[in-house]
Structure 1
């Protein structure tokens, strides 16, 4: 009984933190069903304006096209980033050398350079190749991030090198060792990296805003920005757009939640 009483403050604190964390999501979902006046009045219970907000949103913005382009960009970014970063992290650790350590330090220092400093040269580069308004122009600059490479390198350190040597003696090729032995073992790390990359790619705004000039290829963050740029803002429809844009990342996180935590635990170890 004494131990249970000691646990009460902890659970009360965790409950309060959970409520504070969920409150913005609840307000967003409720506001999507309310009118602009109700949203500005901070009404905290559902209304009856969901269909009206949907009609207002779809009459002014092409939600389907924005969702499609956001999905394509996020999925391409996630898949390519996992492939490139996992191979790089595996190579940094398994084929270790002092020169690769120096290169890793260069990659880590590159994280300190703000993206705004490289945005104009990147735009000029993709414009010269005729890739403006294409998904590859959005995806290519972010498929090899130092953070993901470091994550996979740290995970590769826990991979037994004796197994690699035994596989080589049995005649297994290097790519087969990576694909058939390393990849299945590092599933939690892949899940954690997938969640981070997908959420970052889905919410990416600045670079798509620069490289996607045509409104027909806009993403959901761009749609929300354009919808809220008028003189008169329909906050009910705006909240509905934010809710729609948030659903994919929420679903991805909850589906991969356990693997996400396990992946970061493995990285720390």
Structure 2
């Protein structure tokens, strides 16, 4: 019975793994085939890989420009979000008081508000900054709303609970200021949570679709999700080209996750202790 149970368990896990990985395999195979082969359900390696890549980068959609826009937005958002959210989480936990706890509770309540409910106020606010580098139709109009989120602040606050207060007190006795303690003592010991937060923030920013669709109105400012959506909305979509674009758009996130997956797991585990 034990052997039958083990066989059944591995069979179920194998089927679940196949169902999970099949879309990615089909996507990779699809970028090597013509549209007619993809729509016919061909699951074989084709000979159209280079042609699909040429069509993708030589089209009027400026896919290479969209890649650059997405990379700039995702990188800047990640850098600013890690810096601001970690400082906020550090402050809420190290300098605890009834007032700060109330502010943090209201901050958590903001997670219940859907982003679609905030788009009109955000659009109105950034429209008033139209003559500045932060106005609507600029990359900063997409970056700024994402640089500080309640989830990231909560993540860092939970992680800082495990940070030894004795180190903070010893540093204060040695004459270090609060900023020096944060940069020289806390940050070097919190690499795992920074890696986890970086993966989450980069992925959300790279895949962001709704707000860039509203905020970025010029074709040269569009990001990768907007370009992929435009490809699929055409009258006669080229599925080989679309598959190539999806694979390229997936690679940065996959690479970052596989490089930092160990730190990601340790950071997430450490943040919920």
Task: State TM-score, norm by structure 1.
Answer: 0.95
For 1:162 and 1:55, how far apart are their aligned partners in 2? 59
For 1:254 and 1:5, how far apart are their aligned partners in 2? 34
Matched, 1:85 2:89: no
Q: What is aligned with 1:33? A: 32
For 2:243 and 2:141, how far apart are their aligned partners in 1? 29
Q: What is aligned with 1:266? A: 270
Q: Deviations over 1:73-100 (max 9, x none)?
A: 0000000000010000000000001111
Q: Deviations over 1:39-66 (max 9, x none)?
A: 1122222111112212222232211101
Gaps of 5+ in 1: none
For 2:2 and 2:183, how far apart are their aligned partners in 1? 48
Deviation at 1:12, TM superposition (A): 4.2
Deviation at 1:230, TM superposition (A): 1.2
Matched, 1:202 2:201: no
Bigger drift between 6-15 and 38-47 goes to 6-15
Deviation at 1:19, TM superposition (A): 2.5
Deviation at 1:17, TM superposition (A): 2.9
Q: Match of 2:112, SS? A: coil
Q: What is aligned with 1:48? A: 47
**Counterparts in 2 of 1:227 and 1:97: CA distance versus 1, 3 Å:** same
For 2:171 and 2:5, how far apart are their aligned partners in 1? 52
Q: Match of 1:258, SS? A: helix
